[in-house]
Amino acid sequence: MSTAPTSIAIVGGGLGGLTLARVLHTHGIASTVYERDASPTTRDQGGTLDLDEDSGRRALSAGGLLDDFRELSRPEGGELILLAKDGSTLLHEPAPEGGGDRPEIDRYALRGLLLDSLPRGTVRWGHKVRSATVSPAGRPALTLADGETVEADLLVGADGAWSRIRPLLSDARPVYSGVTLMDGQLEDVGTRHRALAELVGHGTMFALGDEKGVIAQRIGGDRIRVYSTVKVPEAWADTEAVATKRVLDLFPDWDDGLRALIADSDGPLVPRPIYALPVGHRWERVPGVTLLGDAAHLMSPFAGAGANLAMLDGAELARAIATHDDVETALTAYETALFPRSATEAALSAAHLDEFLRPDGLRLARDRFTSYASGDDAR
Ligand SMILES: Cc1cc2nc3c(=O)[nH]c(=O)nc-3n(C[C@H](O)[C@H](O)[C@H](O)COP(=O)(O)OP(=O)(O)OC[C@H]3O[C@@H](n4cnc5c(N)ncnc54)[C@H](O)[C@@H]3O)c2cc1C
């Protein structure tokens, strides 16, 4: 790179923002990540992710982290089970040898890998951004929650669904999809929940029916993550933790084992309402500002694309910055590829959400998974 921006501010230390910082670092370019969480362990990082060769793993490769990823990944996590609501099995695909196309990794391990790869001090923990502006001279600036202001040559919004940077570029707001995941977790399943561990297997188990689902993932630390998936009004699961019984009542005639995955959760079920930005969300160029990941293209998780794309965005933006002479040319190149790529995945994610939770969702999911297992990428 001939003329590196002198200061790059990345808002958000999720998988996208950290990948950007890491790949910039491999090109010898410094950046600062402003992250609202007080520390890496402030918030539970969620379940497991399968990383696609063309997106998540390509991004790790750009950051020189592919070998470390292989050490941390769980090849057995590729096992896939599809059940009907009475517990009968429609599909059981064992994990492909070596993890196949999309090996699984726990989110906390992946975020830890990225964090450990950055120079000390790159991430400023406990730095919540309240707002962002662009000065009349065309220079972006952040105002932090404590009132401090920070100017930068390049500002990247990697701050997820409710981005504070997005309003600089677009009026778009995430819209509720009509679907909420009730997030629960079972601990010590090898000893305390052996029958449920067998039901879920070593990877992901989908049970679908009645326009609902119980989706369970085996994750590291001998745990199972369970997402009870329901179509409810946006306000049904408000900020209060929802009583387990209220969720169970939505699955009255489901198999006892599937109900136990909900009922036996350690701790309260946490509502995760699914929001999405409009498919094809884009913006006009604003000097010195761009977005990546969920801030740019929030989509339902039903195609397993969001984290993979956030990482690819980060790697591609870093590459553009490193290989272009000025920031604006780099941002134009990055966004020219970003918009169609994310529109395609957002449309697929919306289609999966719709299909899996239709009355005939079980059959549609079986068709999708069968073609995926046979080698077609039918995520
Ligand atoms: C239940 C569920 C399951 C999913 N499963 C998958 C899957 O299997 N595969 C897949 O690819 N994707 C999956 N996704 C999607 C994936 O989680 C997201 O797309 C991905 O995390 C987006 O990464 P990001 O870095 O853009 O944003 P985030 O992960 O949201 O990170 C944003 C960061 O910004 C910080 N932040 C926010 N606001 C501020 C602020 N004002 N100031 C400073 N910091 C701020 C946050 O604390 C956070 O650390 C799933 C999502 C959900 C909800």
pLDDT tens-place string over residues 160-211? 999 999 999 999 999 999 999 999 999 999 999 999 999 999 999 999 999 9
Q: What is the pLDDT of residue 31?
A: 98
What Cα–Cα distance (Å) separates residue 299 from each residue in 15, 302, 368? 15, 9, 19
Q: Which residue has the tokens 């601990």?
A: 187
The residue out of 276, 305, 339 marking a domain boundary is 276
**Domain-embedded: residue 362:** no
Ligand 1 atom 39: residue of nearest CA: 159
Query: What's the gap in Å between 12 CA and the centre of ligand 1?
Result: 9
Pick from 294, 302, 352 the residue to mutate for probing ligand 1's pocket: most ligand atoms within 8 Å of its CB: 294
Tell whether the torsion through CA atoms of 23, 34, 40 and 180 is positive or negative: negative
Residue 95 lies in a domain: no
| Distance from the alpha carbon of residue 36 to the mean position of ligand 1, in angstroms | 13
- Check whether residue 18 and residue 110 sit in a common domain: yes
Q: Provide the β-strand partners of residue 179.
A: 231
Least confident among 3-17, 126-140, 222-236, 329-343: 3-17
Residue 90 CA to ligand 1 centre (angstroms): 31
For residue 251, the domain's CATH number is 3.30.9.30
Asked if residue 290 and residue 246 are part of one domain, the reply reads no
pLDDT at 156 over 80: yes
Indicate the residue type of 179: V
Q: Where are the beta strands (DSSP E) in the chain?
A: 8-11, 32-34, 48-50, 80-84, 89-93, 104-106, 123-124, 129-134, 140-144, 149-151, 154-157, 175-186, 204-209, 212-219, 223-231, 270-276, 289-291
Task: Tell me which residue of 275, 274, 226, 235 sits closest to 254, measured CA to CA.
Answer: 226
Tokens of 89: 């099995």
pLDDT band for position 376 (50/70/90)? low
Instruction: Give 14 Cα–ligand 1 centroid separation in angstroms.
Output: 6
Q: Which residues line ligand 1 (CB under 6 A)?
A: 11-17, 34-37, 49, 128-129, 158-160, 164, 181, 227, 272, 293-295, 301, 304-308, 310
Q: DSSP character for 358?
A: S
Say yes or no to pLDDT of 237 above 90.
Answer: no
Last residue of some domain: 222, 244, 276? 276
Q: Which atom of ligand 1 is nearest to the CA of 56?
A: 11
Question: Is the same domain home to 55 and 151?
Answer: yes
Model pLDDT for residues 35-56, shown as the tens digit of each residue: 999 999 888 777 889 999 999 9
Residue 3 has pLDDT above 70, yes or no: no
Average pLDDT over residues 359-374: 86
Closest residue to atom 21 of ligand 1, CA basis: 307
- Among 35, 101, 114, name the best residue to mutate to test ligand 1's pocket (greatest count of ligand atoms within 8 A of Cβ): 35
Q: How far is the CA of 160 from the centre of ligand 1 (A)?
A: 5
* 107 and 191 fall within a common domain: no
pTM of the model: 0.94
For atom 35 of ligand 1, the residue with the nearest CA is 12
Atom number of ligand 1 nearest to Cα 161: 30
Q: In the 8-state DSSP scheme, what is residue 269?
A: B
Average pLDDT across the chain, whole number: 92
Residues 285 and 272 in one domain: no
- Would the annotation count 222 as a binding residue? no
How would you class 43 by CB atoms within 10 Å of its CB: exposed for 0-12, middle for 13-18, buried for 19 or more?
Answer: exposed
Same domain, 145 and 284: yes
163 and 211 assigned to the same domain? no
pLDDT in tens, 143-155: 999 999 999 999 9
Kindly state whether residues 180 and 165 are assigned to the same domain: no
Query: How many A from CA of 282 to the centre of ligand 1?
Result: 19
Q: How confident is the model at residue 245 (pLDDT cuts 50, 70, 90)?
A: confident
Tell whether 185 and 37 lie within a shared domain: no
Centre of ligand 1 from the C-alpha of residue 175, in Å: 16
Range of the domain at 198: 175-276
In this structure, the answer to whether residues 25 and 134 fall within a common structural domain is yes
pLDDT score recorded for residue 100? 66
Q: How many domains is the chain partitioned into structurally? A: 2
Q: Do both 143 and 184 map to the same domain?
A: no
